Amino acid sequence: MPETTHHLRSTTPAPDVAAGPVVSLTDAIVLKEEGVFLMSLRDGTIPVTGTHPLGLYLDDCRHLSGHELRVAGVMPRLLVASAPTGAEAIYELTNPDIALADGRELPLQTLQVRIERRLLSEGRLRERVHVRLHGREAVDLDLELALGADFRPMFAIRGIVDVPPATVELEQVEDGLRFAATTSDDVRRSTTVFVDRPPTAVEDRTLRFGLHLEPGGSDDVRLEYIFGSGGPDGSRSASAGAAGGDGLGISSPTRVQTDDELFNRVIRRSVIDLRMLRSRLEGDAYFAAGVPWFATLFGRDSLITAIETLGLVPDVGAQTLRALGARLGRRVDPIHEEEPGKVLHELRVGEVAARDLTPLTRYYGTVDATPLFLCLVAEHADWSGSLDLFRELRGAVDAALGWIERYGDHDGDGLLDYRAGTPDGLRNQGWKDSEDGVLHDDGTPMEPPIALVEVQGYAIRGLRGTARLLELDGDGARATELLGMADALEERLERFWVPDRRIYGMGIDGEGRTSAALASNQGHLLWGEVLHDGRARDVRDALMSDAMFSGWGLRTLGRGEQAYNPVGYHLGTVWPHDTAMAAVGLRRYGFDQDFTRLFEGLLEAASHTDGYSLPELFAGFASEEYETPVPYPVACHPQAWASGAIPYMLINGLGLKPDGLQRRLRVRRPSLPSWVNRVDVEGLAIGAGRVDLRFERTGAGDSVALTDARIDGDVDVVLEIQPGH
């Protein structure tokens, strides 16, 4: 099997067609609605020729691979593009100098050309092409739209599997075109394009419309694209249906408003991106990991994003747990890395999945998703104020615990570790899952079985959280067992300690060697609240050093380390979720100023990105070197846990500590970024209650106070002033 690690998002796809324009995902406009997403260049173009990942995808299959608009034979020029809702986009274009067929010349910027798109969840795309003449003489010109559909699976475009190209049939239908193919899984897939007016001509894949424009006049061409798979003509669209509700499409989202418009825009964009990534599987909502490469259910990514957003949309957390709980491993299957009770890593649908051409279509190669599953169960109970979901999922919780006890330790040293079941499995199975992402201080990769330090922190937190729920549910004996397991695992954390550098190494290899490289993994121990205060300060000192903090966020690997590379996937780049989890941990230990520095760094980074949207990662160059963060060219964008990072930091910066099982919301040492003076939080759900809160900066210092609280339901708001966790 070809390369299968996650950094394949930077792999050039196998060339299916002749060379064409070089495409950077940094410059792409992305739309997504449920299980359908579309990526185009900023002017709306999807190149008809050339190797690129752009297009419209449904069920991991590209149903639209080309879309090129020409006016009088010339491609318009981009003025501005906007995708305000994540499912709609406007591309404002104009003309270069054009030689018309009658011998006249149409001067530069005489035409307004606008493309409006709206993506619908039921496998449809609506498009309006609007052309307006600002010249003083009437003109006749042709509007041409060249289209393409190759029905290539995403894994083939990424170069992971070799699937012969499908034979695409093209036929004219009433008022349009239909592309159709029977793919290698014997499924008929189609793209049908309907137009609101008969084309002047149809030549191969190109629709041509004759336009007559009077001075100041305009004309529109409206199209509807229907994408489907299933029946003999491919006419059944793969519809997930509408999720209902508002905001993120889930019931009762929390709303946030501040007195700073830039901050509002960053928060608003985070919510839009999260809504875009919201997807469903057999009725259960979850956050897909990221567009384009990972627009599907991912255990680790979906769980962490659900944890980040419990204060916004607790229903997604509950449904994510149901979706993953229903798909826990049931057997020992080394090819798919499946084991009883293990939480899924990645799930795919479509042609490649139907033929099982790669284990990645149903893959369990992750060591951290199972303890994170337990963490989310416990945190959801704190927000929901109920044990109902815990009781509903008790079988899945017991199975996950069983995996930790029986399968999670390959070498018997008492630490959770990983080792690929076959040579074709993922070499690294934590969140730094690239081939070279887990290494020693001399730059050499660590050899399996590998125990990652952050995974032990997740497990300790998950075990203790589960023990608390068991105790409340009357199973004190099992709760005591889990607390004993957590305490023993916490003692074993000492094996990761590197005394010469006063850091925790990222991992321990199969020979028992601890990595001495300075890396960000140790920050997740703060998030897990598994360190005593002295060691927490050591970790704080390491994270906030110039080697680790770029000014925008935390580097994955410290500057100055042997393998450091500011544009290496896990070798020195900045990942917003990584920074957010460490920052939240710092605040839990009372390092509020350090939390604020990281929060402000990520906010500043977001303010420089297109549309105020944080990508999956960006380069690790220091903020003093460049005025804006340096993009990572093939980062997923939007990406789930990056989109959840700012909302998560806001909830924790305000000191909101849910205690729904006791019908309380605790507020601890609220703080705000230095340029924000007021925050209103409305509709925050705690148990069966709802709370509206106002926080305001007071006096001349950094003090922030809760100045107003409105409560609806059986919940108390309790102010706490203790300095630490």
Q: 173 and 321, same structural domain? A: no
* 342, HSE (Cβ side, Cα atoms, 13 Å): 28
CB 641 within 8 A of CB 577: yes
The answer as to whether 238 is a domain residue is no
**Which has the closest alpha carbon to 327: 347, 311, 309, 310?**
347
Q: How far is CA 304 from CA 297, 391, 567, in A?
A: 12, 22, 24
Please tell me the distance from the alpha carbon of residue 1 to that of residue 359, in angstroms, as a whole number: 9
Whether the CA torsion 471, 474, 480, 485 is positive or negative: it is: negative
Q: What total of structural domains would you count in the chain?
A: 3
Please tell me the distance from the alpha carbon of residue 420 to that of residue 310, in angstroms, as a whole number: 32
Q: Considering the chain, what percentage of its residues have pLDDT values greater than 90?
A: 86
Structural domain including 680 reads 662-720
Q: 537 and 676, same structural domain? A: no
The amino acid sitting at 701 is G
> Angle at CA 101, nearest 5°, toward 97 and 102?
105
State in Å, rounded, how far the first CA of the chain is from the last one: 47
Q: 560 and 705, same structural domain? A: no
Q: 213 and 103, same structural domain? A: yes
Q: 276 and 204, same structural domain? A: no
Please tell me the distance from the alpha carbon of residue 111 to that of residue 464, in angstroms, as a whole number: 65
Q: 636 and 538, same structural domain? A: yes
Q: 374 and 478, same structural domain? A: yes
The answer as to whether 1 is a domain residue is no
Q: Any idea what the CATH number is for the domain that residue 417 is in? A: 1.50.10.10
The answer as to whether 655 is a domain residue is no
Please tell me the distance from the alpha carbon of residue 596 to that of residue 610, in angstroms, as a whole number: 23
| Residue 170 neighbours by CB under 8 Å, 6+ apart | 177, 178, 179, 204, 205
Q: How many CB atoms lie within 10 A of CB 142?
A: 15
Question: For the chain, what is the largest distance between any 2 Cα atoms, rounded to a whole number of angstroms?
Answer: 90
The answer as to whether 403 is a domain residue is yes
Q: 673 and 634, same structural domain? A: no
pLDDT for 23 equals 65
Q: 144 and 17, same structural domain? A: yes
Please tell me the distance from the alpha carbon of residue 201 to that of residue 186, in angstroms, as a whole number: 33
pLDDT for 22 equals 57
Q: 221 and 340, same structural domain? A: no
Rg (CA), the chain: 26
| Residue 89 neighbours by CB under 8 Å, 6+ apart | 29, 31, 44, 81, 82, 83, 115, 116, 117
Q: DSSP letter for 126, please.
A: E
Q: 671 and 629, same structural domain? A: no
Cα 88 to its chain centre, rounded Å, is: 19
645: left (phi over 0), alpha (psi -120 to 50) or beta: alpha
pLDDT for 518 equals 98
Residue ranges in the chain modelled with pLDDT below 50? 1-20, 232-247, 251, 725
Q: 167 and 111, same structural domain? A: yes
Which of 619, 649, 679 is the last residue before a domain boundary? 649
The amino acid sitting at 450 is I
* E strand residue ranges, 333-439: 346-347, 362-363
pLDDT in tens, 169-196: 999 988 899 999 999 999 999 999 999 9
Please tell me the distance from the alpha carbon of residue 305 to that of residue 688, in angstroms, as a whole number: 23
The answer as to whether 685 is a domain residue is yes
Helices 645-653 and 299-308, interaxial angle, to 10°?
40
Q: How far is CA 291 from CA 13, 25, 36, in A?
A: 16, 10, 11
Q: Any idea what the CATH number is for the domain that residue 139 is in? A: 2.70.98.40
The answer as to whether 513 is a domain residue is yes
Partners of 538 in the β-ladder: none
- For residue 498, which phi and psi values (nearest 5 degrees)? -110, 95
